[in-house]
């Protein structure tokens, strides 16, 4: 019985001690929570105060910086921005439309347009024309084959820009279904009744123009040759004039006589020439002084007689 009583007493004591410890632990936990909350509230309050102070300081510094920037901006001169000139419009890359006279000259008439409107892609694709072997790779210029003649090449260029149907046919057929050479051969065979008259007229005009240029060239050569002949005649006349006015020639005529007038003068009449030689001999200084004296004495005797 004592043992049981002791056990019950010990268990009651243990329960009482456990209750006291639990109450004390709860009290301590409550005090700790209260202290923690108080500390957190103080920290939060302090953090908020610090944040407000930092924000106020940042605002103050920003206001000071903005004031300095404003003062500097008012002190600096504002450069004047030059006016931007108006940009001219970009010219259109579309080729100008050919005039009606040129279209008429190269056979692009209303009849041709109406005939072309009745064509279809099958008109070219099913045309009974065999492909000819290419002898050489003929280049293209302005989308037109250069194996065409001058009139056909210009006609093809104009018809591509003036008649949209032909341009469409060529775009869809070449070179997918046929060569460029074959396309234009078929086209000119189809429109031959509408273009042959204008083509023949064009080459006739070129022929007439070439003949006129040839005549003008011959006339120019003839005028040049005539001018050259006249210049040669003038040069001969000037040569004769200069020869007749040559002083040396006059001196030869004075000393020797006019050789061309021998038939007009009397035969044997050379006294003038002898007198001239006497005058030359008398002044030549080749004879001696004695001879001069004898001649002077002879002249004096003849004068007395």
Is the whole-model pTM more than 0.85? no
Task: Report the C-alpha gap between 94 and 96 in whole angstroms.
Answer: 6
CA 88 to chain CA mean position, Å: 20
In the predicted structure, residue 233 carries a pLDDT above the cut 90: no
Mean pLDDT computed over every residue of the chain: 76
Lowest mean pLDDT among 2-6, 51-55, 75-79, 149-153: 75-79
pLDDT value for 225: 74
- pLDDT of 245 > 60? The answer is no
Virtual torsion, Cα 291, 292, 293, 295, nearest 10 deg? 80
Which H or E element spans position 140? strand 140-141
Least confident of 37-41, 69-73, 252-256: 252-256
Three-class secondary structure of residue 283 per DSSP? coil
What are the domain boundaries of the chain?
1-72, 100-129+149-217
What does the alpha-carbon distance between residue 18 and residue 10 come to, in Å, rounded to a whole number?
Answer: 12
């Amino acid at each position: 019985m004592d043992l049981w009583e002791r056990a019950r007493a010990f268990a009651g004591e243990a329960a009482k001690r456990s209750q006291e410890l639990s109450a004390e632990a709860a009290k301590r936990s409550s005090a700790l929570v209260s202290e923690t909350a108080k500390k957190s509230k103080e920290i939060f309050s302090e953090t908020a105060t610090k944040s407000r102070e930092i924000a106020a300081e940042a605002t103050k510094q920003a206001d000071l910086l903005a004031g300095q920037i404003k003062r500097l901006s008012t002190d600096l001169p504002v450069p004047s921005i030059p006016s931007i000139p108006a940009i001219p419009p970009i010219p259109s890359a579309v080729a100008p439309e050919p005039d009606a006279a040129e279209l008429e000259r190269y056979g692009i008439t209303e009849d041709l347009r109406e005939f072309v409107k009745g064509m279809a892609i099958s008109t070219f694709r099913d045309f009974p024309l065999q492909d000819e072997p290419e002898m050489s790779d003929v280049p293209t210029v302005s989308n037109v084959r250069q194996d065409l003649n001058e009139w056909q090449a210009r006609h093809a260029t104009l018809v591509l820009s003036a008649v949209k149907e032909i341009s469409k046919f060529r775009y869809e057929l070449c070179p997918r279904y046929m060569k460029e050479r074959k396309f234009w051969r078929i086209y000119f065979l189809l429109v031959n009744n509408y273009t042959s008259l204008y083509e023949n007229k064009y080459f006739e005009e070129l022929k007439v123009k070439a003949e006129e240029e040839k005549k003008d060239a011959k006339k120019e050569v003839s005028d040049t040759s005539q001018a050259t002949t006249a210049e040669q005649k003038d040069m001969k006349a000037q040569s004769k004039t200069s020869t007749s006015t040559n002083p040396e020639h006059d001196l030869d005529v004075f000393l020797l006589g006019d050789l061309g007038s021998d038939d007009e003068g009397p035969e044997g009449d050379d006294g003038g020439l002898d007198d001239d030689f006497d005058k030359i001999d008398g002044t030549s200084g080749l004879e001696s002084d004695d001879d001069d004296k004898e001649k002077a004495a002879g002249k004096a005797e003849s004068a007395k007689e």
